[in-house]
Structures are given as structure tokens and as C-alpha cells.
Amino acid sequence: MLLELKNIFKWVNSGGQRIFLLKDINLSVEEGEFISVMGPSGSGKSTLLNVIGMLDTFDEGEYHFLDESVHTLKEKYRSNLYKEYIGFVFQSYHLLDDLTVYENLEMPLLYKKYKGTERKAMVGDMLDRFSIVGKKDLFPAQLSGGQQQLVGVARALIGKPKLILADEPTGNLNSQQSEEIMGLFKRLNEEDNVTIIQVTHSEKNAAYGSRIINLLDGRMI
């Protein structure tokens, strides 16, 4: 088992009232799954994704990731854990505008302290695999949205994570670009056994996954 959430609660206090963002979430994810999280705006999809990604905390419950109990870990270990095993893909790509495609891909490797030659090989590999070798010296602003997201996915993958968390990865793309990205996810999931959890509004995209989780007002239904 890759990860397990047990009775997760998350709330904020507003005007003396407790507003639940996540309410009693129980979820276990096996390695190699491809899960789509759906639900209306404000239902807690992104919050759930961020909790899983350890970017956000929760108020109650237990979270185990690869046999580590995340809720008891210190910040430093937690960030080491997600640095090692988790890659993120965002709706608005979030590439560093002032770095080229090549440099953007290299960035995560720097934080993992890979050596120069290793980095070169890994980035080259990734560029090849996504057929963007010709674009390596361009800046994000010179790419189309689809191409930017391609770089975004490549950046998420370059550290060889076990889990990819994608928050509406095709939200800013047209239908053709969307299909490319979703196809890519499917291939990654099937061929490389990468676990994927994506948040999406689209039934069509959700169908790429192997399991759908529906959220409403912070609860799983």
C-alpha cells in the first residue's frame, strides 16, 4: 500500500463557527492506481490533494505514507519524504518564467543534490522522452499552454516519484492538448507503474483513471 488516510478532519474557524474543509476522509491508495477526484467547486478536492502531497496540514486523523506516519513527522522529514516520492502538476503549470525549459527540468535535481553529469543525463532523457529536445533553450512564455504543461509533467517526473499529484492539469488547455496530457498520464501509469491522483472537473478526463472519488462539502460520497 502506498498511502492511507484514516478519519482525516480539517477545519477553519470563522466567526466562532467551525467550517469543515475535510470531514472524516478515509482513503487508501495502492501503488499503480490512477485515481480521479471529482466534485463541485469548494468541495475540498484541492485541499485533499494538498494534504496528500503534505503541502497542507490537517487537524485530526492519521496519514501513513509508505509505512511512515506523516502526522507525527517533523516538518523537515516530511519535506524530505515528499521531495523523494511525490511530483506535482498544476493547472497553471507554475514553471519558472526566467529559466529555460532545460533549466526548469534541472531545478528539482539540484535540490536533490544530483551531480552535474547525472543531471545532464536525466534531463536529456526527459527531453527525449517528451520529444521537446528542440525546445530546451526556450523560455516558458515562448511555448503553447500544452507544451508548458508537458514541461510541467516532465519536471514532476524527473525525480522518479512514486506518486504524481495533478490539480486540474488540463484546466487551462484546449481539448486536443488535454487529450495529449491525459494520454501521457495513462501511459505513465500503465508503463511505468506511476501512481497518479488527479483532480478534475471533466467526466471525460476522469474516465482515464481506474477509480473515481467524489467529494461534496469535504466528505467522500
Partner 1 sequence: MIKHNVLLYLRGIKKNTSSFLINLIGLSTGLVCVLLVYLWVSDELAMDRFHENEERIYQVFRNIPDGQGEISTYRSNSSLLLTALQEEVPEVEKAVAVYRLEAGSIVETEQKKTSAAGYFASEDYFEVFSIPLVAGDKSRILNDMNSVAISRKMANSLFGSAVNPIGKSVTIKNGEEVLEAVFTVNGVYEIPRNSSESFDFVIPYKKFLQDRNPDYIHWESNSSMMFALLRPDVHIDRLNAKMDRFIKNKDDDNRASVFLARYSDNYLNGRFENGERAGGRISYVYLFSLVAVFILLIACINFMNLSTAKASKRLKEIGIKKVIGANRKTLIFQFLVESVLLSSFSLLMAYLLAWLLLPWFNNLTGKQLFLELSPKLVFALIAATLFTGLLSGSYPALYLTQFNPIKVLKGKISSSFGELMLRKGLVVFQFCISILLIVAVSVIYMQLDFIQSKNLGYNKDNIIAFDRQDGLMNNMETFLEEAKKLPGVVNASYMQGSMTNFNNSSGGHSWPGQTEASKNLTFRHAHVGPNFIETMGIEMKEGRSYVNEKSNNGSKIILNETAVKLMGLENPIGTVIDMRGPNREIIGVVKDFHIQSLYDEIAPMALLCRTQWVGTLLVKIKAGREKETIASLSSLHEEFNPGLGFDFRFLDTQYQQVYQAEQRVATLSKYFAGMAILISCLGLFGLAAFSAERRRKEISIRKVLGQTVSQVTVMLSGEFMKLVFISMLIALPVAYLLATNWLSQFAYRISLHAGYFIGAGVVAILVALLTVGSQAMNAANKNPVYALKDE
Query: Which residues of the chain form contacts with partner 1 (CB under 8 A)?
Result: 50, 55-56, 76, 79, 82-83, 88, 90, 94-96, 98-99, 103, 106-108, 110-112, 155, 159
Which of 67/75 has CB closer to partner 1? 75
Find out whether 48 and 55 touch, Cβ atoms under 8 Å.
no
Q: How far is the CB of 198 from partner 1 (least distance, A)?
A: 16
Which of 143/208 has CB closer to partner 1? 143
Distance CA 178, CA 161 (A): 22
Which of 26/57 has CB closer to partner 1? 57
Q: How far is the CB of 210 from partner 1 (least distance, A)?
A: 26
Distance CA 176, CA 144 (A): 12
Q: How far is the CB of 90 from partner 1 (least distance, A)?
A: 7
Q: How far is the CB of 84 from partner 1 (least distance, A)?
A: 9
Rounded to 5 degrees, what angle do the CA atoms 137, 140, 143 make?
Answer: 90
Q: Write the single-letter amino acid at 46.
A: S
What does residue 70 show for φ and ψ, rounded to 5 degrees? -60, -35
Which of 1/110 has CB closer to partner 1? 110
Distance CA 198, CA 188 (A): 13
Which of 79/202 has CB closer to partner 1? 79
Q: How far is CA 210 from the centre of its chain?
A: 16
Q: How far is the CB of 114 from partner 1 (least distance, A)?
A: 11
Q: How far is the CB of 55 from partner 1 (least distance, A)?
A: 5
Distance CA 148, CA 214 (A): 29
Cell of 34: 490512477
- The 8-class DSSP code of residue 173 comes to S
Which of 73/107 has CB closer to partner 1? 107
